[in-house]
Amino acid sequence: MATLKEIRKRVSSVQNIQQITKAMKMVSAARLRRAQEAALAARPYAEKLEAVLQNLAAQGEELAHPFLTERAENNTTLIVMTSDRGLCGGFNSSLIREAEAFMRQRTEQKVSLILIGRRAYDHFKRRDVTIAEEHINLYGRLSADLAHDIGRRVGEQFLSGETDSFYVLYAKFRSALVQVPTLDKILPIASTPQTEDQSALDYLYEPAPQTLLASLLERYIDMLIYRAMLESVASEHGARMTAMDNATNNAVEMIDRLTLDMNRARQAGITRELLEIVATGESLKG
């Protein structure tokens, strides 16, 4: 059995850890609120842009664009969005598992990775994979400029034939407890059947529809990447807040158990001292 001094040291160390996890939980909760607001605010814009784009693409076959053209997927580019820091439960490991499953399904294709976040980079740099780009040590500061730069480069590669498809893997935010690994296909852009309400809309386009289509497609690609970034940041903070809350609760339970052990050790020490006193007294009488 551990001594009283050892138990007290363990209680003190666990209390220090509890203070750290509680502080990290509060920080993540504050950041989660802002990240969640940004992610939710981006969804209506994305939905409306997609509706306009689908309406425009359905105007006629003459409004064709290379970004809308399906072709055989021999070369694929995948963005994997993880965090730079750990201590967020299974947030990173679930995304890395999904990325590895994606590559296993495409063993006959050449898959190039664009890694956002140190956790993904540290994992894949030691494996036999092609890393086209890495963006690390951003610590959640994922900007629209970064999304635009990535979208522009990948768009140029798609037009030149260097890549045949472009996917993004991220954690979609549902709540602080639930973050869903999500795989979205960015290029080529797939047209979805329009509903009756969407078909009834008759837009007047200015400038010409073909010119507008090219501009909207570029904005649409940037928007999909940036929305995935916002969802990923919100999911990271939600996962970390939940993980730190669980760690704090576990620390409280451990402190209670250690306190009970400490009391038992103290009582055992007192009992032993009393027995020694009584035994000494009896020996003096004899």
Q: Cα–chain-centroid distance for residue 207?
A: 39
Tell me the C-alpha distance between 277 and 223, whole Å.
Answer: 80
270 catalytic residue (yes or no): no
Return phi, psi of residue 228, to 5°.
-65, -40
Q: Which residues contact 32 (CB under 8 A, 6 or more apart)?
A: 176, 234, 237, 238, 241
Return phi, psi of residue 201, to 5°.
-75, 130
Q: What count of other Cβ atoms lies within 10 Å of the Cβ of residue 214?
A: 13
Tell me the C-alpha distance between 253 and 247, whole Å.
Answer: 10
Q: Which residues contact 240 (CB under 8 A, 6 or more apart)?
A: 24, 25, 28, 85, 87, 88, 89, 91
Q: Which residues contact 37 (CB under 8 A, 6 or more apart)?
A: none
* Residue 28, CB-side half-sphere exposure with 13 Å CA sphere: 24
Q: Which of 39, 42, 80, 88 is catalytic?
A: 88
166 near 186, Cβ under 8 Å?
yes
Tell me the C-alpha distance between 33 and 13, whole Å.
Answer: 31
Residues tagged active-site = 88
